[in-house]
Amino acid sequence: MSKWLKQFLFGIWGLLLIPLIAPILEKWLAENVSSDPSGMATTVFHNAVATTVFDNLRALGQQRWFKFALVFWTGIVLGASLEWLNRKSDEKKASELRSLGAKFRSLSDSLKIRTATSGWPDNVGDLKPAIMSALGSARKLHLWVPDEHVYQLPDASFLCEYFRCVGKLLEDGQFDKANREALSWQPFLDNVTLS
């Protein structure tokens, strides 16, 4: 929603709230401003003028069409606010998923370098905290992630390819495909660990 449209909606809604706030404002003015008969505020803000203004606002607030307009604009403002919050939430999640994709790709590259040497999983001891952090973040974002069985595999190729494939899709913003891709790795891991 554009900035001027949001200001327009909230401006109209704010104007519609004035007749609802008028009785409270009238009472506060009567108790605090008009109570001092010799005060400057009393001379500037005459009781007769205030009474007329507040009576008109109160009468406007009692009109049937006004109540309808207030409810209608309240619905529009709430709907627009919820849509804006939803869009912001989606943008934040998309940013988190892209960032996670970059972490996955970086871990894939690091694992690829480590697979040249033997000693899996002992040769990635320093990468385990980063791997666990990335997998935990993916789990929170509702992606399927391999469990501890991945460290029982003969080498790191499964984890390396999982990170590469899913990470690329996440970085490209293809979140649904990334989710399907992640799920497609589950049967392979289950079959390998069972044998």
* Interval 6-30: pLDDT, tens: 788 888 888 888 887 777 777 777 7
pTM: 0.59
| Residue 100 CB neighbours (<10 A) | 22
Spell out the domain ranges in the chain: 3-89, 92-194
Q: What is the pLDDT of residues 97-110, one digit of tens each?
A: 899 999 999 999 98
Query: Alpha carbon of 174 to those of 92, 101, 178, 179: distances in Å?
Result: 15, 10, 6, 9
- Tell me, what DSSP letter sits at residue 39? S
pLDDT at 195: 46
